[in-house]
Structure 1
Amino acid sequence: MKQSKLTTGKTNIIGITGGVGAGKSTILSYIQDNFNAMVIYSDQVANDIKKKGYPAYDELVALLGPEVLGEEGEIDKGKMAEAIFKDKTLLDKVNNVLHPAVNTFIINIIDSERAKGELDFVIVEAALLIENGYKDIVDELWYVYADEDIRRQRLKASRGYSDEKIDGILSKQLSDAEFREHCDFVIDNSRSEEEAYKQIDNKLGEWKKKWQV
């Protein structure tokens, strides 16, 4: 295991990633509830920056046309998906608008929280943290791991996914070896939640003790 780069006395930035069904949401909820931390969900940021008044809004409307707007003038997710479905070349163009905008938005939050210095941790969650270069932005990258059989069981139980749909999703994600190569810390979330929580407590124990005093 690499030596931790987290330090006391400052706001540490941790990126948390992992494959679908690994249980990232459970891990993130535990950290937010038990440590002096903020969690930034990249999917939520991607939704927010498509709203009127944000830079990505104007770019997306210019790219996709006013047909994607709903009655209130906001971008309608269904209409946007339909436009992309009709013209496959638009997907890359939309991603080229959204990904940089999401990154900029998140970096601005990180800079603001570091300047305030009130939090021990800012946690950034995204499926594509590694691919989008967050290694250079965060202090540590964490990988939430669960073995494939467990992930499949979870996805079938919680989302009703078929094996075919799961196969398609997994084929587009990084392998376990690739996640481990790029990440500083691995949380094994294959078993009980309590076992996963112990791993977090051991990693961040000094902060947990501080905030329990």
Structure 2
Amino acid sequence: MKQNKLKSGETNIIGITGGVGAGKSAVLGYIEENYNARVIYSDNVANDIKKKGYPAYDELLALLGDGILDETGEIDKKKMAEAIFGNEKLLSSVNNILHPAVNTFIINIIDNEREKGELDFVFVEAALLIENGYKNFVDELWYVYADESTRRKRLKESRGYTDEKIDKIFGSQLDDKTFRENADFVIDNSKTLKEATMQIDKKIGEWKA
């Protein structure tokens, strides 16, 4: 077990990541309900910064054209996906717009919450947390783990994914070894949510003590 880096009397920033199907949303739902914490979901931020009035909106429009807009003038997620489908260069350009904008938006939220000092924790959830360098501005990185067969079962039941689609997703994500090497704390969510939350309660209980 790595040394606890959480600080008493301050707003602690925790990055939380893990492979698809590991159950990050369920774990974070428990944390939001039971602790003085705010959860920032990077996917939600990515959706927000594509709205009118945000810099990413103008940049995406300049890159992809107004064919990606819906009838209200907002960016349509499906139309945008169709516009970049199969074009690696265009996808790379879109990511070069979105990733820095998401990071800046999240860092601003973190700075504001630290300044207010009202929360014990701010959790930042991102699938690409490690790849996007979040380790540089969080106090700890938590990894939600579930074994491959459990993740595969969950994805089939909850999302109707085929084995072929699951294999492709798994192949595009970091492996367990890399997640563990970068993590300060590992939550095993292979079994019941209750067993996972007991691990969280123990970890936060040690910080409170």
Fold conserved between structures, TM > 0.5: yes
| Superposed counterparts of 1:192-211, under 5 Å | 192-205=192-205
Give the Cα–Cα distance (whole angstroms) in 1 for the partners of residues 191 and 184 of structure 2: 21
In the alignment, which residue of structure 2 is the partner of 1:11? 11
In the alignment, which residue of structure 2 is the partner of 1:101? 101
- Which ranges in structure 2 are unaligned for 5 or more consecutive residues? none
**1:207 CA displacement:** 6.6
Contact 1:14–1:141 (8 Å) recurs in 2: yes
**1:206 CA displacement:** 5.4
**1:53 CA displacement:** 0.3
Q: Does 1:89 align with 2:92?
A: no
In the alignment, which residue of structure 2 is the partner of 1:145? 145
Give the Cα–Cα distance (whole angstroms) in 1 for the partners of residues 162 and 72 of structure 2: 36
In the alignment, which residue of structure 1 is the partner of 2:74? 74
Give the Cα–Cα distance (whole angstroms) in 2 for the partners of residues 67 and 186 of structure 1: 44
**1:88 CA displacement:** 3.4
Q: Does 1:32 align with 2:32?
A: yes
Q: Cα deviation per residue 1:100-131 (whole Å; 9 max; x = unaligned)?
A: 00000000000000000000000000000000
Pick closer, same or farther for the CA change 1:33–1:161 going to 2, 3 Å: same
In the alignment, which residue of structure 2 is the partner of 1:120? 120
Give the Cα–Cα distance (whole angstroms) in 1 for the partners of residues 145 and 136 of structure 2: 22
TM-score of the pair, normalised by structure 1? 0.96
Contact 2:23–2:144 (8 Å) recurs in 1: yes
Equivalent pairs counted in the alignment come to: 209
**1:82 CA displacement:** 1.1
**1:208 CA displacement:** 7.1
**1:70 CA displacement:** 1.2
**1:85 CA displacement:** 1.4
SS of residue matched to 2:53: coil
In the alignment, which residue of structure 2 is the partner of 1:43? 43
Give the Cα–Cα distance (whole angstroms) in 1 for the partners of residues 123 and 89 of structure 2: 33
Deviates more, 1:27-36 or 1:74-83: 74-83
Query: Which amino acid in 2 is paired with 1:109?
Result: I
Contact 1:37–1:122 (8 Å) recurs in 2: yes
Q: Cα deviation per residue 1:166-200 (whole Å; 9 max; x = unaligned)?
A: 00000000000000001100000011111101100
Give the Cα–Cα distance (whole angstroms) in 1 for the partners of residues 23 and 77 of structure 2: 26
TM-score of the pair, normalised by structure 2? 0.97
Give the Cα–Cα distance (whole angstroms) in 2 for the partners of residues 143 and 86 of structure 1: 31
Q: Does 1:60 align with 2:60?
A: yes
Contact 1:11–1:121 (8 Å) recurs in 2: yes
SS of residue matched to 2:195: helix
Identity %: 74
Q: Cα deviation per residue 1:57-87 (whole Å; 9 max; x = unaligned)?
A: 0000001011111111111111111110164
Give the Cα–Cα distance (whole angstroms) in 2 for the partners of residues 182 and 88 of structure 1: 28
Contact 1:22–1:151 (8 Å) recurs in 2: yes
SS of residue matched to 1:27: helix
Give the Cα–Cα distance (whole angstroms) in 2 for the partners of residues 62 and 87 of structure 1: 17
Pick closer, same or farther for the CA change 1:3–1:208 going to 2, 3 Å: closer
SS of residue matched to 1:155: helix
